[in-house]
A and B are shown apart, each in its own frame.
Chain A
Amino acid sequence: MSVVANYIPRDSFVHRLSPLTKLFWSFLLMTLSCFFRDPLVLAGLFLSIVLVALAAGILKEMFPVFKGLLCIAGLFILFQIFFISDGKTIFTLIPGTGIGRVTDAGLVGCLAMGARMIVIAASFPVLMGTTQIKDLVVVLVEKLRIPYPYAFMFVTSLRFVPTFMQEMDQIIQAQSSRAHRLDNKNFLKRFLSICPLAIPLMVTSVKKAERMAISMETRGFGVGKRTNLHSKQFRSVDALVCCALLLAGVGAAVLHFMGILA
């Protein structure tokens, strides 16, 4: 999952698009996923994300991310499915007792919620994998008029996800070397076993943030008006892609309100 916020350099059509276009794509997918309730339609939206990753040449790198999201969605469905009692019973885990009852409405509802979660979460790593962070900052500041410190804070928090994951790996190794176990069968003990990992991670993160703040201040961060060395152009191809996305989005919404797509 360390790839989740990393840029993966490729020379693809998707990489060359403006970050604004990709942000719009991501936003559109999130909006559409909130409209639809049919798991098949939501699966179709997820497939479109997979196809974009394929077109960008980063499907191999995205595969662990998608796999992780599918696992999380699977767990989510498993935890929810037995608590929805509406609809016809399809089967029960222990026949005749009503324990572990799965209904048709429960199954469809849980599948839809799981699929929606995947769609909302999956577009983001593809966006980050095909967009350089500096380009994203420039777009957020220049085009969306977001104040630079906020845009910087947003992208920096993303930039540090893989760094923190590496730190966590080091911490796990250090504590394992002192015979610390994370695979305790007792739930409470397993929960408490996170402390030896969480505290060093928090401490090192705060120290890292402090060092970074000092380093930025010594290089003039926040003094005067900023200028950008490079500006990412919104080209005609971006306008075309945005129009196509908008048309597809409006079309899907119309089909939904006409009752053709649930």
Chain B
Amino acid sequence: MIKVVDLHFKYGNIDLEVLRGLSFSVEKGEFVALIGQNGAGKTTLLKQFNALLQPTGGTVQIAGLDTARSTTGELARKVGFLFQNPDHQIFMPTVFKEIGFGPKNLHLSKAEIDARVEEAAEAVGLTAYLGHNPLLLSKGQRQRVAFASVLSMKPEILVLDEPTTGQDYQEGIEIMEMVQKLNELGHTIVFVTHDMELVATYAKRVIVLSGGRVLLDDSCRNVFYHPEILRQTNLFPPQIARLAQMFAQQPSLFGRPLTVEEIYQEILNLPESASHVCCS
């Protein structure tokens, strides 16, 4: 679905390369988290997926389309991009019109636009707000409007740049639950976040970027049980993984849990003698 080959990128006349020879591919239906410290090139990489930025070397292919030969508008049918700040896109007088802006640009029929708007609004829990002015909603609700406006375009690939920024815990979870549902329906998800708990809970695969290069590309579990490599990029595994690693001095006490639910199950399954070691 996404194929990146020897991707290089630098901004304008600045000599420093932001992306320095990245190569990886993402298959249809994958749920991938891009992590790395600030300035690692995460957002720059995301923007390559819908030709907002174009490679200065190498290639990026989206469903067989070379982004260097495609416009952002053309790729909008395939790639939905949720930006960090919803205020950069909201301008319509009602939530309904705001969500319908993308499908309208795709020249769909009015009936199709209406159906898509209602479907997207329902998916994000905004049906009751369709007649409201989106600018007067809370930050969390505005982010959901932005998300619905991406969903209404029915893209095969969803690219999310820190989708839970500015959301409270519950709102963040709700957004990620929606993303997970879409993933289960076959959408390919690539998201950037600094929240390692979110990565541990939802991502199946993690790509760690450092200095414009891929430092690690593996399953979520394998990545978070490489703390020495993560530390090079100022990243720390989620607390549960760190706790389990602390207990690793007790041989075979835990497997490799990532979430509260996983460690809870492991504690329940501990033999009597081991639970004594754990809790003493």
Given contacts A177-B81, A178-B149, whether A203 and B73 have CB atoms under 8 Å apart is no
Q: Would B91 and A196 count as touching, CB distance under 8 A?
A: yes
List residues of chain A with CB within 8 A of the CB of B77.
179
> Which residues 72-108 in A have Cβ within 8 Å of B in the complex?
none
Q: Contact residue range for chain B?
A: 20 to 34
Distance, CA A203 to CA B150, complexed state (A): 21
Interface flags for B149-187 (1: CB within 8 Å of A; 0: not) read 110010000000000000000000000000000000000
Q: Which of B62-70, B99-107, B188-196, B265-273 forms part of the interface with chain A?
A: B99-107
- Is B89 engaged at the interface, CB distance under 8 Å to the other chain? yes
Q: Would B89 and A171 count as touching, CB distance under 8 A?
A: yes
List residues of chain B with CB within 8 A of the CB of A203.
87, 90-91, 135
- How many residue pairs link A and B with beta carbons under 8 A? The number is 68
Distance, CA A196 to CA B88, complexed state (A): 9
Main secondary structure of the interface of B (DSSP, over half): mixed
Main secondary structure of the interface of A (DSSP, over half): helix
Interface flags for B91-118 (1: CB within 8 Å of A; 0: not) read 1000000000110011000000000000
Interface size of A by CB at 8 A reads 19
Given contacts A173-B47, A173-B52, A203-B135, whether A178 and B102 have CB atoms under 8 Å apart is yes
Minimal beta-carbon separation of B113 from chain A (angstroms): 13
- Is B83 engaged at the interface, CB distance under 8 Å to the other chain? yes
List residues of chain A with CB within 8 A of the CB of B80.
177
Distance, CA A170 to CA B43, complexed state (A): 12
- Is B259 engaged at the interface, CB distance under 8 Å to the other chain? no
Minimal beta-carbon separation of A26 from chain B (angstroms): 27
List residues of chain A with CB within 8 A of the CB of B87.
200, 203-204, 207
Q: Would B52 and A177 count as touching, CB distance under 8 A?
A: yes
Minimal beta-carbon separation of B60 from chain A (angstroms): 15
> Which residues 155-174 in A have Cβ within 8 Å of B in the complex?
167, 170-171, 173-174
- 7 A-B contacts (beta carbon < 8 Å): A174-B88, A176-B73, A176-B76, A180-B105, A181-B73, A196-B101, A200-B88
